[in-house]
Homo-oligomer: A and B are copies of this chain.
């Protein structure tokens, strides 16, 4: 009997753990080589088991990727879901930017896995982009429009504001090697996330026009 990939029903503790080990290894491999560029052998070796053994837990290569993507998307949209109009708008947006930047710092592999998928045309998650994601963004856009009408933030395009937050924060995960190469050994240490946080806060709040 092989381990069914459909539901978590009837799975032993050992099975759960092994599947976890595989997913951890697959995240490493997929995030740096993309789906087609990754091989089952690579993942199996990274997971410390033989290829047939890995295929005992996940019947197909695609099943691993799909499980990984589903998990990723839940945690990925969490920060945006938390954005609501309870607190002060500027504080809310600052918190959102900070949370997204922390995710780029703490979960760079997940960010790159997502970036790989989008770069290749999102063949496996297109329905989710047009469905769940679009719905969520539309909802938050309305929140922002309310803030603009109330004069709490400047009038601008809320869609592109969200894009800009995504782009600037995820850049530190997806283009990490470029960021570190350009900053050099001295400025490219762990402090770069602190610098980025300070800069982004200033950029999004006040831009770079000098105070008159």
Which residue numbers of A lie inside 8 Å of B, CB to CB?
A: 32-37, 90, 93, 112, 115-116, 118-122, 126, 129-130, 133-134, 137, 151-154, 156-157, 159-164, 166-168, 170-172, 174-175, 177-179, 181-184, 187, 195-196, 198-200, 202-211
In the assembled complex, the CB of A209 is this many whole angstroms from the nearest CB of chain B, namely: 5
Tell me the complex Cα distance, A104–B177, Å: 21
A134 neighbours in B (Cβ, 8 Å): 181-182, 184
A156 neighbours in B (Cβ, 8 Å): 199, 202-203, 208
In order of increasing CB-CB distance, the 4 nearest A-B pairs are A36-B37, A167-B171, A129-B181, A160-B199
Q: Quick check: A33 and B32 within 8 Å, CB to CB?
A: no
Q: How many copies does the complex hold?
A: 2
Q: Quick check: B207 and A157 within 8 Å, CB to CB?
A: no
A112 neighbours in B (Cβ, 8 Å): 119
Q: Which of B154, B157, B160 contacts A209 (CB 8 A)?
A: B154
In the assembled complex, the CB of A212 is this many whole angstroms from the nearest CB of chain B, namely: 10
Residue on B nearest A171 in the bound complex, by CB: B167
Tell me the complex Cα distance, A35–B198, Å: 36
A162 neighbours in B (Cβ, 8 Å): 182
Q: Which of B36, B115, B129, B187 contacts A159 (CB 8 A)?
A: B187
In the assembled complex, the CB of A9 is this many whole angstroms from the nearest CB of chain B, namely: 33
A93 neighbours in B (Cβ, 8 Å): 208
